[in-house]
């Protein structure tokens, strides 16, 4: 069943990602949602396209999407969609946005897709099936020391808004290279061995659902700040298994204070 879901998710993510390209680097109207985050016609149309593809193949499955909420809540299989993760990047013509699909069985993620259509990079994973980048196996880095690590984040100001300035500074001090290649693309960078740590202090389920299978099946760890490997905590970071104990200790010490 996981293989069937994975194959379908790859196909649907490609369809959705291709639809975003119709609007990428085009002059489109930007709407502010209630939380002041931006949304575009590309976000909304792309989710509709993916929903139709899922309903055509799996009419009994549930769907949770950033733009159109939840359907078929009673199903034990749920597709979780973020049509454009990194809308701000998308609006500014930066190709680091992604189309995300996570598939949950009994509320646990079994399939994850991170598709960066403007870069022609698609990372896919099913629990027990491994992870791939454009069809080839991918693995996390082998970096052993945190002081040699590349640390990614999305918005620097998010740490201030979350009251985590001291944590942010410690992560900066303890790592070697720091970049804001963020959103889900940052987690894909970890899963493909191009970065060593990506931290999001705030995540919705549609942001997180795809991440755990991709990072786990690439040999890494996706964890919340309390050391729990879950998509349901509202935060999360990705790293390799060697660095995980060092990073886990930093988070434990910070959040236990």
What pLDDT is attached to residue 31? 76
Q: State the Cα–Cα distance between residues 26 and 18, nearest whole angstrom.
A: 14
What pLDDT is attached to residue 37? 75
Cβ-based neighbour number of residue 234 at 10 Å:
16
Report CA-CA distances (Å) from 197 to 106, 127, 154, 160, 228: 29, 21, 12, 19, 16
Q: State the Cα–Cα distance between residues 163 and 203, nearest whole angstrom.
A: 16
* Non-local CB neighbours of 62 within 8 Å, separated by 6+ positions: 70, 71, 72, 73, 74, 75, 77, 78, 79
- Structural domains of the chain in order of their starting residue, each with its CATH number: 2-137 (3.30.540.10), 146-255 (3.40.190.80)
Each residue's pLDDT tens digit in the chain (257 positions)? 899 999 999 999 999 999 999 999 998 888 766 666 778 899 999 999 999 999 999 999 999 999 999 999 999 999 999 999 999 999 999 999 999 999 999 999 999 999 999 999 999 999 999 999 999 999 999 999 999 999 999 989 999 999 999 999 999 999 999 999 789 999 999 999 999 999 999 999 999 999 999 999 999 999 999 999 999 999 999 999 999 999 999 999 999 86
Give the CA diameter of the chain.
50
Burial class for 76, CB neighbours closer than 10 Å (0-12, 13-18, 19+)? exposed
Q: Cα 250–216–111 angle (5° rounding)?
A: 135
Q: What is the pLDDT of residues 181-198, one digit of tens each?
A: 789 999 999 999 999 999
């Amino acid at each position: 069943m996981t293989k069937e879901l994975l194959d379908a998710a790859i196909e649907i993510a490609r369809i959705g990602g291709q639809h975003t390209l119709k609007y990428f680097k085009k002059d489109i109207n930007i709407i502010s949602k209630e939380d002041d985050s931006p949304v575009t016609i590309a976000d909304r149309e792309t989710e509709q396209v993916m929903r139709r593809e899922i309903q055509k193949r799996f009419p009994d499955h549930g769907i949770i999407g950033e733009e159109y909420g939840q359907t078929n809540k009673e199903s034990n299989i749920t597709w979780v969609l973020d049509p454009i993760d990194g809308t701000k990047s998308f609006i500014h013509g930066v190709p680091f946005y992604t189309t995300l699909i996570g598939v949950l069985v009994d509320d646990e993620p079994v399939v994850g897709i991170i598709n960066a259509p403007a870069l022609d990079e698609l990372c896919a994973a099913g629990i027990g099936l491994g992870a791939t980048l454009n069809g080839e196996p991918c693995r996390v880095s082998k970096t052993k020391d945190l002081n040699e690590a590349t640390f990614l984040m999305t918005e620097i100001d998010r740490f201030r808004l979350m009251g985590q300035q001291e944590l942010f500074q410690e992560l900066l001090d303890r790592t070697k290279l720091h970049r804001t290649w963020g959103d889900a693309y940052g987690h894909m960078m970890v899963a493909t061995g191009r970065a060593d740590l990506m931290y999001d202090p705030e995540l919705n389920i549609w942001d997180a659902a795809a991440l755990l299978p991709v990072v786990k099946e690439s040999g890494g760890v996706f964890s919340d700040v309390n050391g729990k490997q879950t998509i349901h905590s509202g935060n999360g970071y990705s790293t390799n298994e060697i660095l995980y104990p060092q990073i886990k200790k930093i988070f434990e010490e910070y959040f236990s204070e």
